[in-house]
Amino acid sequence: MANTVTLHRVLRAPVSRVFKAFSSAEAKAVWLPPFGFICKVDAFDFRVGGNYRMSFTTFATNQSHSWSGTFVAIKPNELLVFKDRFDDPNLPGEMTVTVSFREVSCGTELSIKQEGIPDLIPAEMCYLGWQESLVKLAQLVEPEIAQ
């Protein structure tokens, strides 16, 4: 049976900035890869029905894994739903990721649900990876840098 993970964070940044980090290929390449990985974005058509293609490469070993997907729902600053498929045949199926954004008194409440994670990937490893990615997301969106 496929795994599901859910995550919740509050970030000290406006919803528009957090949503921008999810809707920008350049930003995702910075914050999405967990520690020790480099992300390459080959395609990123951010619109409902648009496709993307990405890969992570382990810095230490230079091993890569790639995936592609489709944006299913986009409500700016509120909701993002996309579907991922790994290129590796050992990781079959399609994952659905739902990201909710909500303005709160100190910034943004972020809720993430990833469903359909292949059996070969332990849920706890997904949690570890997402936790590292969300640390990097906070480091990207929280600083207030004067122009």
Q: Under 8 Å CB-to-CB from 146, ≥6 apart: which residues?
A: none
Closest C-alpha among 4, 1, 2 to residue 115: 4
pLDDT in tens, 30-87: 999 999 999 999 999 999 999 999 999 999 999 999 999 999 999 999 999 999 999 9
Closest C-alpha among 65, 68, 63 to residue 83: 68
Whether the Cβ atoms of residue 25 and residue 44 lie closer than 8 Å to each other: yes
pTM of the model: 0.94
The residue behind tokens 């029905």 is 49
Task: Assign 1 a pLDDT band (cuts: 50, 70, 90).
Answer: low
Alpha-carbon distance of 39 to 26, in angstroms, equals 10
Helix (H, G, I), strand (E, B) or coil at 140: helix
Residue 29 has pLDDT above 80, yes or no: yes
Closest C-alpha among 126, 118, 125 to residue 92: 118
